[in-house]
Amino acid sequence: DAGITQSPRHKVTETGTPVTLRCHQTENHRYMYWYRQDPGHGLRLIHYSYGVKDTDKGEVSDGYSVSRSKTEDFLLTLESATSSQTSVYFCAISAQGAGANVLTFGAGSRLTVL
């Protein structure tokens, strides 16, 4: 579906544990994004990547790191999860370029930190 998959789709973890969310695309798009969705806040950008090993911070990057070792995979890591990181995480991809600034979203990963 849309060439983008996220895993895991649901995860419950405890405060202080590391968590990694994976985004995989089959579209060969250059740009990949991680957003979090929270009631009353909408979607906020965490990190994004504009190529292999090229990443940049978004609006709410504290407590998160990312890695992109190949075009198709973009990993989001919470080094030490906190309850404030309980959220739904969305990955998105974009080809960019003239007339192509459209994001395609994954199905989301629901993370609960107890």
Rule CB under 8 A: say whether 96 interacts with another protein: yes
Cβ closest to another protein, residue 76 vs residue 81: 76
Q: Judge contact between 21 and 7, C-beta under 8 A.
A: yes
Cβ closest to another protein, residue 49 vs residue 85: 49
Cβ closest to another protein, residue 38 vs residue 79: 38
Cβ closest to another protein, residue 39 vs residue 70: 39
Rule CB under 8 A: say whether 3 interacts with another protein: no
Rule CB under 8 A: say whether 90 interacts with another protein: yes
Rule CB under 8 A: say whether 61 interacts with another protein: no
Question: 3-state SS of the chain?
Answer: CCCEEEECCEEEECCCCCEEEEEEECCCCCEEEEEEEECCCEEEEEEEEEECCEEEECCCCCCCEEEEEECCEEEEEECCCCHHHCEEEEEEEECCCCCCCCCEECCCEEEEEC
Chain residues that interact with another protein, rule: CB under 8 A: 2, 31, 33, 35, 40-45, 48, 50, 58-59, 90, 92, 96, 99, 101-108
